[in-house]
Structure 1
Amino acid sequence: MDWKHAKSLFIIVFILINIGLVVVYFNKVNNSIVQESNAQSEVNFSKEGIDIPQLPDYKDKEMQAITGSSKSFNADELEGVYSLTEKDTQINKDINVDLDKDSKQESFKNFINKESFKGKEYQYQNNNSNKNKVVYEQNYEDLPILNNSKGQIVFEMENGKANKYTQTYLDKLKPGNGDNNNKQKIVNAKTALETLYYNTYLKKGDKVESVRLGYYSVVKEIGGQVLVPSWEVKIKSEEDGKSKTKVLYIDAIKPESTVLEES
């Protein structure tokens, strides 16, 4: 056996073994760093003194940005006694029915289904705190169009009774154009709250009153809107001995990119 060749082969094998060990070592180090980073991102809201409700679960939910525009109504599409605004994008109607603030949601919904334009596309806004209004929001794929005056039915209440309602409707809702607008998996509600916490929007002593998933418009024009998948978070806090409520919107696909406050 040629000793020189054997020696060279031994050295090569030794080097390859060491390279393999180094690769294994760095893989373990990287894995431990990732696990540590993930562990650090978890927030125990109870320990942080932040009260949160039961969070909605949309496991493996995929969404994408959508577009739409305000519908211009015409008299031929409407039944009953209605009046239209100057731009014909809002229906106004005086009502005289037995609907009060304590009426069951089914009573309002039955009225909407019967009397409104495409009323089945609206659902009750359960986190509305205005005592003088009952609000129903337009939906897209079973999720609400969040805080959007261009896609709502609003009952105005007087002395506890509904006496008038207005309706707007977002027409031609569809996925937005663009190569980068494929459906993507959304982050869960807890991740959205953690985003607010790490960006100091959510602090010790705060109470999260509601968390909802839907579509929030980053462009609110009559001629066209762009709505992105968003988490809506309603927060009650104390400042200088006074209660303050704010509503924030977090991009549900890229939560680190956008946090918007209710306008």
Structure 2
Amino acid sequence: MDWKHAKSLFIIVFVLINIGLVVVYFNKINNSIVQESNAQSDVNFSKEGIEIPQLPEYKDKEMQAITGSSKSFSSDELEGVYTLTEKDTKINKDINVDLDKDSKQSSFKNFINKESFKGKEYKDKSNNTDKNKVIYEQNYEGLPILNNSKGQIVFNIEEGKVNKYTQTYLDKLKPGNGDNNHKQKIADAKTALDILYYNTYLKKGDKVESVRLGYYSVVKEIGGQVLVPSWEVKIKSKENGKSKTKVLYIDAIKPESTVLEES
């Protein structure tokens, strides 16, 4: 036997085997990455022990950032007996009206349409849990201005009766300036929840109480506001045996970029 040739043949076979093993290894790595990526795009919240509601759908919905400023009211624009505070940007009125708290879509809305400044632009805040307040939010193009004290109508309730009414209004709402501020397709609600999960804002045992689409202000000044399309997610969780509720806002156009907590 020619040991020299046999040795060369052995080395060649050894190299080929190692090349084959390297190829198999990298194929496994690539497959693993693909599976992980696919898994991250479709979280099964039921299996993760997280309760979620029926999610709203906005097929092919496009939105963009908007701007506005607090309305400064004048007495000429108001009917009835009102007082103005906060540099004339908040209307206050003491009232004693028998309104049915459980029929916000009728009695309260009728009152708002009749008594409020541009009342038709306000809609009931669907996830309000404050038993002592009924809140209506100003809307823009059919979507609410989320968690914004500068665009709300609030009824205070005491002993089952409405005793006070306040209103603020965001004026001159319009698309913001900027070359990059064109309408873009939003991410769906499920994608927003997935991002919260992978960033540990959602954990096992949590309950998502509500998910809403609207405009959330990243600048809340009287002189001017910048509001971005956002998903509002209300989460109930338990910490040290006690229930805790938090509200998070996810940029609806670039959900991976911004998560803000209610302020």
Q: TM-score, with normalisation over the residues of structure 2?
A: 0.86
Structure 2 contact 70–222 (Cα < 8 Å) conserved: yes
Q: In 2, distance between residues paired with 1:239 and 1:37?
A: 31
- The residue aligned with 2:224 is 224
1:100 CA displacement = 3.8
* Inter-partner Cα distance in structure 1 for 2:187 and 2:202: 18
**Correspondence for 2:214:** 214
Contact 2:70 2:150 in 1 (8 A): yes
Distance 2:229 2:98 in 1: 37
CA distance in 2, matches of 1:36, 1:198: 12
1:189 equivalent in structure 2: 189
| Gap regions ≥5 residues in structure 1 | 1-29
How far apart, CA to CA, are the structure 1 residues paired with 2:164 and 2:187? 39
Counterpart for residue 65 of structure 2: 65
Asked whether the equivalents of residues 100 and 157 of structure 1 are also in contact (C-alpha less than 8 Å), the reply is: no
Q: For residue 143 of structure 2, what is the amino acid of its counterpart? A: L
- Paired amino acid for 1:128: N
Matched position secondary structure for 2:55: coil
1:121 maps to 2:121: yes
Between the aligned partners of 2:31 and 2:176, the Cα distance in structure 1 is: 38
TM-aligned CA deviation for residue 32 of structure 1? 11
Residue aligned with 2:205, SS: coil
- What is the one-letter code of the residue matched to 1:64? Q
CA contact (8 A) 2:230 2:249 kept: yes
Does the CA contact (< 8 Å) of 1:123 and 1:139 recur in 2?
yes
Provide the rounded CA distance (Å) in 1 between the counterparts of 2:262 and 2:142. 22
Kindly provide the amino acid, as one letter, of the partner of residue 98 in structure 1.
Answer: D
Partner Cα separation in structure 1 for residue 40 and residue 250 of structure 2 = 21
Q: Distance in 1 between matches of 2:100 and 2:163?
A: 9
Q: Shift of residue 38 of structure 1? A: 3.1
Q: Deviations over 1:46-83 (max 9, x none)?
A: 00000000000001000000000000000001111111
Aligned to 1:81: 81
Deviations 1:180-215 (A, max 9, x none): 000000000000000100000000000000000000
Per the alignment, residue 45 of structure 1 pairs with 45
2:16 paired residue number: none
Residue 140 of structure 1: how far off its partner (Å): 0.3
Q: CA deviation at 1:116?
A: 0.1
User: RMSD value over aligned CA atoms?
Assistant: 1.8
**Per-residue displacement from partner, 1:11-62 (whole Å, max 9, x unpaired)?**
xxxxxxxxxxxxxxxxxxx999768623442100000000000000001000
Counterpart-to-counterpart distance in 1, 2:133 and 2:56: 25
Segments of 4+ moved more than 3 angstroms: 30-36
Work out the percentage of aligned pairs sharing the same amino acid.
88
Partner of 1:23: none
Query: Are the aligned partners of 2:187 and 2:253 in contact in 1 as well (CA < 8 Å)?
Result: yes
Shift of 1:129: 1.1
Task: Quote how far apart the aligned CAs of 1:95 are.
Answer: 1.4
Determine the C-alpha separation between the residues in 1 that align with 2:169 and 2:200. 36
Classify 1:110/1:31 alpha carbon distance in 2 versus 1 (closer, same or farther; 3 Å). Answer: farther
Matched positions, count: 235
Distance 2:174 2:104 in 1: 32
1:108 is aligned to 108
Q: Distance in 1 between matches of 2:151 and 2:44?
A: 37
Pair 112,50 (structure 1): closer, same or farther in 2 beyond 3 Å: same
Letter in 2 for 1:184: Q
Match of 2:138? 138
State how far apart, in whole Å, the 2-side matches of 1:105 and 1:76 are.
Answer: 29
Residues in 2 aligned to 1:238 and 1:31: alpha-carbon distance in whole angstroms: 37
Code of the residue aligned with 2:253 in structure 1: it is I
Instruction: Supply the distance in 1 between the matched residues of 2:31 and 2:172 (Cα, whole angstroms).
Output: 47
Normalising by structure 1, we get a TM-score of 0.86
How far the C-alpha of 1:104 sits from its partner, in A, is 4.1
